[in-house]
Structure 1
Amino acid sequence: MQTEIIPNISVDCVIFGFDKNSKSLNVLLIERFLKLEDSEVPAVNDYVLRGFHTFENETIDDTANRVLKELTGLEHLYKKQFKVFGDPNRLKNEKDIIWAQNEHFNRRTITIAYYVLLPTDAFQLENNPYKPKWFPVNQLPELGFDHQKIINEAYADLKEKVLYKPIVFELLADKFTIKELQDTFEAILGVEIDNRNFRRKLITKKYIIALDEKQTGVSKKPSQLYMFSKDVYQKIYKESYLINI
């Protein structure tokens, strides 16, 4: 028996990924393409966030987890529900209306938005049926629906929360250098951070553990590796800034 969807409730996921090679914060998007039978020119050709309607037997979190698993193959990702988007004019552009009609979507759809954090190399894009692509957060292509607004608000929330919650570590590998951690903060906040001051403050944090390991496979002098201890953090947790800029 096919599971029924709730036609006017959906979930959209803003997936942020940090690329340590380009030192950029990126958003994962999928192509939205539609060519009608009576036209050689695509009626719709842009990018959107990955989302889907909620099934009748699901919670909203279940829907988000399903969408993320289908797209990335990953489970137990960090995700934060940050806002509901229910403007009655969300689908106001002609291409959005055409798409909704073709997909039999309800034009009065309310979406619950999440943002997700992971390193860009956490999964492979090749052979992914959704053909996802990473774009720098400040260099996004043309977007469908109100997804530019959703991304903007997710990014604003991320920039605020990263200053007093340890969510930055979700964007890094389990083992990282202090420079990679600094690069991640700089990519999110869009500012340059004094290197020596940052290092001095961060290495005093008891939940940032120095490992008896260094980088491998690098041409320059390998740097010390560190890890974030969630257990230690929770024991000493205080609502205070990780860094002061």
Structure 2
Amino acid sequence: MQPQIISNISVDCVIFGFDFDTKTLNVLLIERFLKSEESSEPLVNDYVLTGYHTYQNETLDETASRVLKELTGLDNLYKKQFKVFGDPNRLMNDRDIIWAKNQNFNQRTITIAYYFLLQTHEVNLGKTEHKAQWFPVNELPALGFDHRAIINEAYADLKEKSMYKPIVFELLPDKFTIKELQDAYEAILGTEIDNRNFRRKLITKKFIVKLDEKQVGISKKPSHLFMFSKDIYQKAYKENYLINI
């Protein structure tokens, strides 16, 4: 039996992904499309965040994890609940009203917003529903509802937190180069970082452990690999700025 939804409470998920090829921070969006039954002309044709109503028998965290897994097949990722969006006019433009009526949505819906962090290659876009697609966070398409505001709030929170919490490592593989770490920081912060200064400061952090390994499968001189030690960080590190830009 289909679980009963709470019709005016939903969860929206901002899924951030770091692309190692383009060195960009991206957002995973799904297509929202509805055509007229009379003329076959598109009534709604834009993109939205993935999200859904909360079930009566689940917590908000469980809703967010369910929504993520249904779209990507992934679970156990870093997630952060960052804000509630409850403006009474948040679903009131023409496209949103048409969509809400078609989907039988409650127009006075309050949404709890989360963001997730991963690497773009972890998501098999060919197996996702609703034509999911990655977009650079600074090059977003036309968006439905108030999802641009939700993304902007999530991005601002990610920028701030990345300066004093080690969440950047959620965008990286277990083993990474200093250059890859710098690329991830630059993608999040939207600014270039002095290479020498960054390397000098980061390699002195005890929780960034240099491995006796180098990159493989590359033609140029391979770089040393490093790993983030969560144990060392939790035991020895007091909250402070990780980097100074």
Partner SS, residue 135 of structure 1? strand
Question: Is 1:178 aligned to 2:216, yes or no?
Answer: no
RMSD over equivalenced CA pairs, Å? 0.8
Shift of 1:233: 0.5
Shift of 1:24: 0.4
Aligned residues of 2:11 and 2:53 also touching (Cα < 8 A): yes
Residue 87 of structure 1 aligns with which residue?
87
| Cα displacement string for residues 81-120 of structure 1 (whole angstroms, at most 9, x for unaligned residues) | 0000000001111110000000000000000000111111
Partners of 1:183 and 1:147 in 2: CA distance: 26
Residue 198 of structure 2 aligns with which residue?
198
Partners of 2:31 and 2:174 in 1: CA distance: 31
Shift of 1:156: 0.6
Residue 233 of structure 2 aligns with which residue?
233
Question: Is 1:35 aligned to 2:35, yes or no?
Answer: yes
2:136 is matched by which residue type in structure 1?
A: P
1:186 is matched by which residue type in structure 2?
A: E
Runs (4+) of structure 1 moved beyond 4 Å? Answer: none
Partner SS, residue 43 of structure 1? strand
Q: How does 1:70-219 map to 2 (within 5 A)?
A: 70-219=70-219
1:70 is matched by which residue type in structure 2?
A: E
Partners of 1:169 and 1:111 in 2: CA distance: 28
Residue 22 of structure 2 aligns with which residue?
22
1:213 is matched by which residue type in structure 2?
A: E
- What percent of counterpart residues are identical? 75
Partner SS, residue 37 of structure 2? coil
Partners of 2:219 and 2:125 in 1: CA distance: 27
Shift of 1:2: 2.1
Aligned residues of 2:209 and 2:227 also touching (Cα < 8 A): yes
Q: How many residues matched?
A: 245
Partner SS, residue 113 of structure 2? strand
| Cα displacement string for residues 135-187 of structure 1 (whole angstroms, at most 9, x for unaligned residues) | 00000000000000000010011111100000000011111100000011111
| Cα displacement string for residues 174-218 of structure 1 (whole angstroms, at most 9, x for unaligned residues) | 111000000111111111111011111111111111111111121
Shift of 1:219: 2.1
Shift of 1:131: 2.1
Partner SS, residue 61 of structure 2? helix
TM-score scaled to structure 2, two decimals?
0.98
Partner SS, residue 33 of structure 2? strand
Partners of 1:96 and 1:90 in 2: CA distance: 9
Residue 44 of structure 2 aligns with which residue?
44
Partners of 2:218 and 2:130 in 1: CA distance: 33
2:169 is matched by which residue type in structure 1?
A: F
Partners of 1:155 and 1:73 in 2: CA distance: 23
Structure 1: which 5+ residue stretches go unaligned? Answer: none
Partner SS, residue 134 of structure 1? strand
Aligned residues of 2:32 and 2:130 also touching (Cα < 8 A): no
1:67 is matched by which residue type in structure 2?
A: V
Aligned residues of 2:9 and 2:110 also touching (Cα < 8 A): yes
TM-score scaled to structure 1, two decimals?
0.98
